[in-house]
Chain A
Amino acid sequence: MASSTTGEKKILTLKGGDNEEFILEESLVLQSELLKNMVKEERVSSIPLPSIKSKTLVKIIEYLKKHAELTPSNKEEFKNFEKEFVNVVLEELLDITVAVNYLKINGLLEFCCQAVADRIKDKSVEAVRKIFRIESDFTPEEESEFRKETPEAFEGDLDDTTN
């Protein structure tokens, strides 16, 4: 990648939310628009990412590595990896999606958003409220109107948990 033209690989430290440090090649993080700009403009060697849980960061780094190894010959393998990558509990997937959005890893963001969409498309209104931690701000009258007009919205998949 671009940064390793000198032959010497630059090393960068990412610091997760619980102060855990991750040391990796700078070329890997260039896939993130946010980190790329930080590295290029400010020439930092350590980047704190306090809002991202270490667990989430581990997953994302795993993806960055796999993606960097992507060649036309292992496309199938990468696709399988992507499928497995989003095969986590919904809460974790949401954490990853928020972090990926913040880091601006565009390809992965599209993939994560699609994965979340696929998971919630059959959920009931109540389930979606719980998943995204939203409280209804409709008046009880409006609420009962909805229940009358679109009863199916409240009858869908009630499972607000992971799968």
Chain B
Amino acid sequence: MIVKRSPSIQIEAPQKSQNLSMKLKMKQMKKKKKKSNPNEAKLANSFAPNIQNLKSQQKKRKKSVAMTIKDNLFNQIISKRQKFNEKSVLPNPICKGKSVLDNNTEQTDVDKALEIHFEEEIFMNILSRLPVQSLVQLKCVSKFLKTLISDPYFKMKHLSHAKNDPNSQKLLLSQDSPYKHDMYTFCCSLSSAQLVEDEQKLDCPLNFKPSGCRMYCCCNGLFFLGVYDGSYEHFLLWNPSTRESRVLPRPEYLNRCSTYGIGYDVTSDDYKILKIDGNVLDKSIMPYEILELKSGSWRNIGKHPDGRIVMSSLWDPVMYPLAFVHGAFHWLSAYQYMTRSSYGCYVVSFTVSNEVYGEIPVLERMCYVSNSGTDQLGISELGGMICFHSTHIHQGGCTFKLWVMKDYGVKESWTELLTIKETGLSSIRPKYMFVNGEVLLSCGRPLQYGTVFRTSTGPFGLSPQRYDTYQEGFAYTESLISPKLLT
């Protein structure tokens, strides 16, 4: 049936409902001695709930605007709505959603109002619990849904749900061939420690065929990558879940020990990428650089004030990504390098918002290393905590130890999580902690190419894809966060 819709309904509805709900309240006070016009009562009945909701929506809207003050898109939505309310000349209300089910004409306004309300508040709540893949598809439902799903406030809400949803935890893996110039990335689910599913190939975002790729770090579903075009390295920020990407400039100073971390800065509502350079010789340490995604360029921040040698791993030439925990980047620094008897190390922190250095102590027994020079130490992020890991190589195998700092910054809270004795493995790194406390580890094999994965208790059922070994893997939370909208 054809539904007649007055173009000014959007203005009238809230006023009408306000008046009517006042009438309703008065009626309540008079204990309903008077019988009102049945039509009006019907309208009042249907509008009554909405007035509260409209109010609370307005409040919420204000709140969310305050929270994401720089979220232009969100402001746009609001100003669009305001404009619409003022002029009411737009041909289609922003929350277009005509009922396709049968309803009688006098109820149309009511349904309209209900739908408006439904779309705004509950849609936000329901949709923010859906997987990224579904949401990318639901953008095709209507303009309103497209706007909602693209809204930065919604994306943050979605992220906070996704972080607690085991099904949104994925492992992004890259493989490349040591013989051919070819690379391949795909993701698999981490929702169970034993079962691997949802393997899917991900497209590389650049328009040339990359010969190789290095994953440097990730945060909130965004990956910072180096992609090789022949021997030239392009830097990218990539969201593999939405397949959006953005090319980033090269840092000014690069060496083979450059390592990176990415973190979200709440105060500026921006992501920052920090680059530090470790090297064996003090004097050759390059300046550190930081890139704020909104500005899109690297800024020199000098060296670590003490000038101490930074190491992600002492003897492993591959640097570990910086651990982003508690609003700060972290890496490992040594008091003295390679003096066997009095060796010690500590964690350097660098806060993302005001860029201040700090130190976090480790227990003496944690950084015990042998004289062989083959042991490895490193830190990373695990379950929202800083973790410290050491691989001690000895005759007949290696011993891997993992510690976590349960209370951030509290030295006494370092807790030994697990010890694994193994043969034939080296360079073991923790990647992810499952809900049941098991830990996913990536391991190198002596004198062999690539990485294998296992859990702290046994094998991890990951079957190799195109090539036999994995180059690298990162655990991440699938998100809608766009690398593009951050400018």
- Chain A contacts to B: CB under 8 angstroms: 17, 34, 42, 44, 46, 48-52, 97-98, 101-102, 109, 113-114, 116-117, 120-122, 124-125, 128-130, 132-138, 143, 146, 150, 152-154, 156
B135 and chain A: residue at smallest CB distance: A121
- Cα–Cα distance between A130 and B97 once the two chains are bound (Å): 11
Contact across chains for B101 and A133 when beta carbons are under 8 A apart: yes
Chain A residues near B425: list those with CB within 8 A. none
Contact across chains for A113 and B97 when beta carbons are under 8 A apart: no
Please encode chain B, from 97 to 140, with 1 for each CB lying within 8 Å of some chain A CB and 0 for all others.
Answer: 11111000000000000110111011101110111001011101
Return B115 CB to nearest CB of chain A, in Å: 7
A134 and chain B: residue at smallest CB distance: B97
Which of A51, A98, A130 sits near B46, CB closer than 8 Å?
A: A51
- Cα–Cα distance between A86 and B46 once the two chains are bound (Å): 24
State whether the Cβ of B486 lies closer than 8 Å to any Cβ in chain A: no
Which of A51, A97, A117 sits near B48, CB closer than 8 Å?
A: A51
A102 and chain B: residue at smallest CB distance: B49
- Cα–Cα distance between A150 and B126 once the two chains are bound (Å): 22
Return A13 CB to nearest CB of chain B, in Å: 12
Interface majority SS (helix, strand, loop, mixed), chain B: helix
Contact across chains for A117 and B129 when beta carbons are under 8 A apart: yes
Chain A residues near B144: list those with CB within 8 A. 134, 137
Chain B residues near A51: list those with CB within 8 A. 45-46, 48-50, 114
Q: Please give 19 more A-B residue pairs, beta carbons under 8 A apart, in addition to A51-B49, A143-B140.
A: A51-B46, A97-B126, A113-B122, A113-B125, A114-B129, A117-B127, A117-B130, A121-B130, A124-B137, A132-B97, A132-B119, A132-B123, A133-B100, A133-B115, A137-B144, A146-B140, A152-B137, A153-B138, A153-B140
- Cα–Cα distance between A128 and B92 once the two chains are bound (Å): 20
Which residues in window 10-31 of B have CB below 8 A to A? 24, 28
- Given known contacts A129-B142, A137-B96, A97 and B122 CB-to-CB distance under 8 angstroms: yes
Return A54 CB to nearest CB of chain B, in Å: 13
Return A112 CB to nearest CB of chain B, in Å: 9
Contact across chains for A136 and B141 when beta carbons are under 8 A apart: yes
Contact across chains for A153 and B137 when beta carbons are under 8 A apart: yes
- Chain B contacts to A: CB under 8 angstroms: 24, 28, 44-46, 48-50, 52-53, 92, 96-101, 114-115, 117-119, 121-123, 125-127, 129-131, 134, 136-138, 140-145
Contact across chains for A137 and B143 when beta carbons are under 8 A apart: yes
Return A19 CB to nearest CB of chain B, in Å: 10
Return A5 CB to nearest CB of chain B, in Å: 26
Could you pull out 14 A-B pairs where Cβ atoms are within 8 angstroms? A17-B45, A48-B24, A50-B49, A101-B53, A129-B141, A132-B118, A132-B141, A133-B115, A134-B97, A134-B141, A134-B144, A135-B96, A137-B142, A156-B137
A51 and chain B: residue at smallest CB distance: B49
B129 and chain A: residue at smallest CB distance: A117
Contact across chains for B45 and A50 when beta carbons are under 8 A apart: yes
User: Across the A-B interface, how many residue pairs have beta carbons closer than 8 Å?
Assistant: 107
- Cα–Cα distance between A101 and B57 once the two chains are bound (Å): 12
Chain B residues near A132: list those with CB within 8 A. 97, 118-119, 123, 141
Chain A residues near B129: list those with CB within 8 A. 113-114, 117
Chain B residues near A138: list those with CB within 8 A. 140, 142-143
- Cα–Cα distance between A163 and B132 once the two chains are bound (Å): 22
Chain A residues near B123: list those with CB within 8 A. 132
Chain A residues near B138: list those with CB within 8 A. 125, 128, 153
B24 and chain A: residue at smallest CB distance: A48
- Cα–Cα distance between A28 and B82 once the two chains are bound (Å): 39
Return A100 CB to nearest CB of chain B, in Å: 9
Chain B residues near A42: list those with CB within 8 A. 28
- Given known contacts A51-B48, A51-B49, A101 and B121 CB-to-CB distance under 8 angstroms: yes
Chain A residues near B101: list those with CB within 8 A. 133
Contact across chains for A125 and B137 when beta carbons are under 8 A apart: yes
Top 5 closest pairs, chain A to chain B, by CB: A50-B45, A153-B137, A117-B129, A146-B140, A51-B49
Return B63 CB to nearest CB of chain A, in Å: 16
- Given known contacts A135-B97, A137-B92, A44 and B118 CB-to-CB distance under 8 angstroms: no
Contact across chains for A98 and B114 when beta carbons are under 8 A apart: yes
Which of B98, B125, B131, B141 sits near A128, CB closer than 8 Å?
A: B141
- Cα–Cα distance between A97 and B118 once the two chains are bound (Å): 10
Contact across chains for B52 and A34 when beta carbons are under 8 A apart: yes
Which of A17, A48, A135 sits near B28, CB closer than 8 Å?
A: A48
B134 and chain A: residue at smallest CB distance: A121
- Given known contacts A116-B126, A121-B131, A152-B137, A135 and B49 CB-to-CB distance under 8 angstroms: no
Return B37 CB to nearest CB of chain A, in Å: 15
- Cα–Cα distance between A115 and B131 once the two chains are bound (Å): 14
Contact across chains for B100 and A130 when beta carbons are under 8 A apart: yes
A17 and chain B: residue at smallest CB distance: B45
B46 and chain A: residue at smallest CB distance: A51
- Given known contacts A129-B141, A135-B97, A150-B137, A102 and B53 CB-to-CB distance under 8 angstroms: yes
- Cα–Cα distance between A146 and B139 once the two chains are bound (Å): 9
Contact across chains for A125 and B141 when beta carbons are under 8 A apart: yes
- Cα–Cα distance between A128 and B98 once the two chains are bound (Å): 14
- Cα–Cα distance between A156 and B145 once the two chains are bound (Å): 18
Chain B residues near A46: list those with CB within 8 A. 28
- Cα–Cα distance between A44 and B30 once the two chains are bound (Å): 11
Chain A residues near B48: list those with CB within 8 A. 48, 50-51
Contact across chains for A117 and B28 when beta carbons are under 8 A apart: no
